[in-house]
Amino acid sequence: MKLGSLFFIALTLTLILGACPPLATSTPPTPPPPPVFGEYQPVQVDQVEVEVGVGSPIPVHVIVRGNLPDLCSQVEYTEIKQDGSNFIIKLSATPDLGSPMVDGCINDPLPFRMSIPLNVIGLPAGDYSVEANGSRADFSLETGSSASSPPRDNSALHKEDIQVASVDIEVGEGSPVPVHAIVGFNLPNSCAQLGEIRLLRGGGATFLVRLDSYVMEGEDCLTDSIPSRVAIPLNLLNLSERSYEVNANGFIAAFELPAP
C-alpha cells in the first residue's frame, strides 16, 4: 500500500472520530454544606411547670417548654444546680450561623418540650422554686426530712458518671413531629442530682447523649442507687434518614420514623 493511501485512511478516521460526540460523564451532585454553628447560647423558655408525684422517693419532674433559635438547633447543653430552696436550670443551644441559601437552615423558632427530674431525697418539707432561663415555677413538698437543710450553690460538689439503664424513643404526632429520647438512669447515691445533659448529633443518624451527676461532698448519703428518667427532645428536621440511633452513656437504642 502506498504512503499516500495510508495518509488518506488515517485522515479519514481522524475526521470520523472527531465528529462523534464526547462520552457523557456523570458528576455526583454536590451535597449541601453542613450547618455552621456558633457557641452555646441560652434558649428561649416560655413556660415551666413542676409535677410532684406520689411514691417513695417522691418523683418530681420539671416540664420546660420553649423555642430553639432555628430549625437546625438542638438543646445541646443543660445544667441543673440547687441553691437553697431554688433549683436553677440552664438550657443552651448552638444557633446556626449560616443562612437558608448556605446550609438550608431557616432561622424560624422551633418549639420544644423537655422533662427534667429533681432529686428531693433528704430535703425538708416546705416551699421550693425552679428557675429555667428566667422562667419560674413554685412547688411544695408536704413531707421531708426535718434533720436537713437545702444545699447552697457554693456547696462542695464533684461530678460522677451516671449508669444508664434504658433508652426509649417516643414519637408523637404533629408538625413538626415531636421526638423524645426517654433515658432511664440511676443516680449514684441519695445526695446526687442530674447535673449535666449534653446532646450532640455525631454525624449521620446518631445522637450522642452524655449524662453526668453532681454529688455533694461531705454528706451522709445513702449509697443506694436512685432510679430516675429524663425526656430529651430530638430535632430531626432537615434530616433525610429514616433510621436513627441514640447512644446515651454507652447504652444504644435504634428507632425508625414512620413513612410520611
DSSP state of 96: B
- Give the C-alpha separation, 257 to 154, whole Å: 44
Taking Cα atoms as reference points, which of 155, 151, 42 lies closest to residue 90? Answer: 42
Confidence band of 249 (pLDDT split at 50, 70, 90): very high
Which pLDDT value is given to residue 157?
85
Cell representation of residue 99: 443562612
Q: What is the mean pLDDT of residues 236-249?
A: 87
User: pTM higher than 0.85 for the full model?
Assistant: no
User: Distance between terminal CA atoms of the chain?
Assistant: 72
Q: With CA atoms as reference, report the closest residue to 209 among 169, 239, 157, 159.
A: 169
Kindly report the backbone phi and psi dihedral angles of residue 111, in degrees, each rounded to the nearest multiple of 5, phi listed first: -70, 150
